[in-house]
């Protein structure tokens, strides 16, 4: 009896002609997530089997697979040869000690002498004979024993379905550049877009020495955590210290955040285009803070030349975002108390609904192109 893991995939089956490509990306992503662990991945009529792994690594493998987008559900199964005695032994091994149960059989191998109903009835009967504490209830069972007879003369026997991460395989929806701040929201935004199949690279802006090195370490840690879902990620780090000093010196301070956002967008767009990304992603949520108004977003968008901005959290409340942040494992790092550059030179009364003409008038006091080029010279790229 060999332990195997059955992987069922999510929406890939909807993708007509491109299905082969989606599946290849999916397998590559599973391989990456299981790197360093002995295993083999085989395709079996519309699903995958992970085989030949060390049984002691089963939990470790499952933990990693939980982060692979595209997996609809998975089951740990016993693989035996398709023979009623062997199937019965496997069914006994996965059968609960007490309660109501039913046996479900799926027979891909139509040459097998018994049909599905007969197999279920016989295995169910033999289980009943061995254990007086269980009884059959096909309508309202406490547990179900699944028997899957494959075409290759083997049978898979299992009793649990675990929900996978869902979504699409990362890499099948292009690449996005996530503006990652060190706060709670941006990693969640990146995770949501990665779930829809997008590869993610990140860009972080700092104001060293106004912000400290721990803030940088925190963003590196957050990117690493995010990269466990995205099959790796690059982190671009850029200094906006001089930009902020210039805004502080020359512009109406109330426009600090609005103007800084526009610089971030310009710089992020350039880095994104150079690295082949097709959009920017932010963790903004409508009305969450003063700068996250539709006018603020319009002001940020208006500096972009070709790329679009995805803001997947726009319709979420803070507590919903926190819940997701906890679930994906970024929350504890996000709440470490290091300052973001947006809190440097923070005005008492930031403009909340900036009029584009006023923003542009303030910005004209600055040498925008020179400041952008200068910031880009501080670019440092880490591969995580």
Question: Closest CB to Mg ion among 169 and 183?
Answer: 183
CB of 285 to ligand ATP, least distance (A): 7
CB of 291 to Mg ion, least distance (A): 10
> How many chain residues interact with ligand ATP (CB under 6 A)?
20
Contact string 174-213 vs Mg ion (x = CB under 5 A): -------x-x------------------------------
- 171 binds, options Mg ion, ligand ATP, none, Cβ within 5 to 8 A by partner type: none
CA–CA separation, 267 vs 275, rounded Å?
12
- Alpha carbon 348 to its chain centroid, in Å, reads 37
C-beta neighbour count of 37 within 10 angstroms? 13
Which residues, including other chains, have CB under 8 Å from residue 2's CB and lie 6 or more apart?
A: 51, 78, 79, 80
Please name which of 106, 112, 102, 103 lies closest in space to residue 82, comparing C-alpha atoms. Answer: 112
CB of 342 to Mg ion, least distance (A): 6
CB 220 within 8 A of CB 182: no
- 283 binds, options Mg ion, ligand ATP, none, Cβ within 5 to 8 A by partner type: ligand ATP
CB of 240 to ligand ATP, least distance (A): 8
- Quick check: 340 binds ligand ATP (CB under 6 A)? yes
CA dihedral 369, 374, 376, 377 (to 10 degrees): 150
CA–CA separation, 120 vs 138, rounded Å?
11
Footprint on residues 271-290 left by ligand ATP (CB under 6 A):
282-284, 288-289
- What the block records as the tokens of 319 is 């507590």
Q: Which residue is nearest to ligand ATP (CB)?
A: 183
CB 260 within 8 A of CB 342: yes
Return residues touching Mg ion (CB under 5 A): 181, 183, 340
Q: Which residues bind ligand ATP (CB under 6 A)?
A: 179-181, 183-186, 204-205, 264, 282-284, 288-289, 291-292, 340-342
């Amino acid at each position: 009896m060999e332990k195997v893991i059955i992987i069922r995939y999510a929406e890939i089956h909807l993708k007509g002609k491109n299905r082969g490509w989606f599946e290849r990306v999916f397998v590559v992503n599973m391989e990456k997530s299981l790197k360093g662990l002995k295993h083999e991945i085989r395709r079996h009529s519309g699903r995958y089997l992970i085989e030949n792994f060390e049984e002691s690594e089963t939990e470790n493998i499952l933990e990693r697979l939980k982060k692979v987008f595209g997996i609809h559900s998975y089951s740990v199964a016993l693989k035996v040869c398709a023979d009623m005695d062997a199937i019965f032994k496997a069914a006994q091994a996965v059968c609960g000690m007490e309660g109501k149960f039913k046996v479900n059989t799926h027979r891909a191998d139509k040459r097998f002498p018994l049909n599905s109903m007969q197999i279920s009835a016989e295995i169910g009967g033999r289980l009943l004979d061995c254990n007086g504490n269980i009884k059959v209830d096909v309508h309202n069972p406490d547990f179900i024993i699944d028997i899957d007879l494959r075409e290759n003369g083997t049978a898979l026997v299992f009793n649990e379905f675990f929900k996978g991460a869902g979504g699409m395989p990362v890499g099948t929806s292009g690449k996005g550049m996530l503006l990652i701040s060190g706060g709670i929201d941006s990693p969640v935004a990146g995770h949501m877009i990665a779930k829809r199949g997008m590869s993610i690279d990140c860009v972080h802006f700092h104001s060293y020495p106004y912000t400290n090195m721990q803030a940088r370490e925190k963003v590196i840690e957050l990117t690493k955590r995010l990269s466990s879902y995205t099959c790796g990620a690059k982190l671009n780090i850029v200094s906006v210290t001089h930009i902020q000093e210039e805004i502080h010196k020359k512009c109406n301070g109330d426009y600090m955040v609005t103007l800084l956002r526009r610089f971030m967008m310009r710089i992020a767009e350039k880095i994104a285009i150079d690295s082949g990304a097709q959009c920017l992603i932010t963790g903004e949520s409508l009305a969450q803070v003063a700068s996250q108004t539709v006018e603020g977003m319009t002001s940020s968008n208006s500096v972009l030349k070709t790329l679009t901005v995805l803001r997947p959290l726009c319709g979420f409340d803070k507590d919903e975002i926190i819940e997701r942040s906890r679930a994906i494992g970024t929350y504890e790092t996000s709440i470490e108390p290091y300052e973001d550059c947006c809190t440097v030179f923070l005005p008492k009364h930031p403009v909340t609904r900036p009029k584009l003409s006023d923003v542009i008038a303030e910005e004209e006091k600055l040498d925008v192109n020179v400041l952008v080029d200068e910031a880009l010279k501080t670019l440092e790229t880490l591969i995580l």
